Structure 1
Amino acid sequence: MNEPIVLHATFTAREGEADRVARLIGEYADLVRQEPGNVLFDASQLADAPERFFVYEMYRNEAAFQEHIDHPKGQAFNDKLTKLIVEPASELTFLKLVR
């Protein structure tokens, strides 16, 4: 099937690092949105817990998602992010569109 790949990622900035994480994810979002297979990449901070981040992503299909995952800029982003967050990595949840 050629279904879109939809997921959300959550993570928590270490104490005092929320602003840095916000800048990093904002810069990365600009790059991801330029990928030909990206449909949506939105990043938010929780209103009542600004150290918590929520990223919602959608890619045209599995191939586009795999291209995103394999791109070197993603690895560079994750290397920087993991030093700034509480979790060992972003917590990913894959979703299925309701149609």
Structure 2
Amino acid sequence: MVVTGLLTLAMTVWAYRSQGWHRAALSLVAAGALANLIDRSARGSVTDFLNLHFGDWHFFVFNLADIWISLGAAFLLGLQIIPQKNKITSIP
């Protein structure tokens, strides 16, 4: 739990020092990690309560914190794929 707490703290500091959309994406990951850390420290394990299934075929079992982490990670990947506009403007 100590290592998880330190990694969550590092992610939070990284989000705080970031700007724009990167801050939003990193904040989602940090919030999900913190929620899972709180759940693990209170109960001894993370409680997954959302069961995505089709009949007898079970796709995933997850919780809301997992959604935030996944959305933040996907958002970060999207920010790397989408070309960024040049922040430096030329003076005519």
Taking structure 1 as the reference length, what is the TM-score of the superposition? 0.31
Taking structure 2 as the reference length, what is the TM-score of the superposition? 0.33
Flag the structure with more relative contact order, 1 or 2, with Cα contacts below 8 A and sequence separation at least 6: 1
Which has more radius of gyration? 2
Higher share of residues assigned helix: 2
Higher share of residues assigned strand: 1
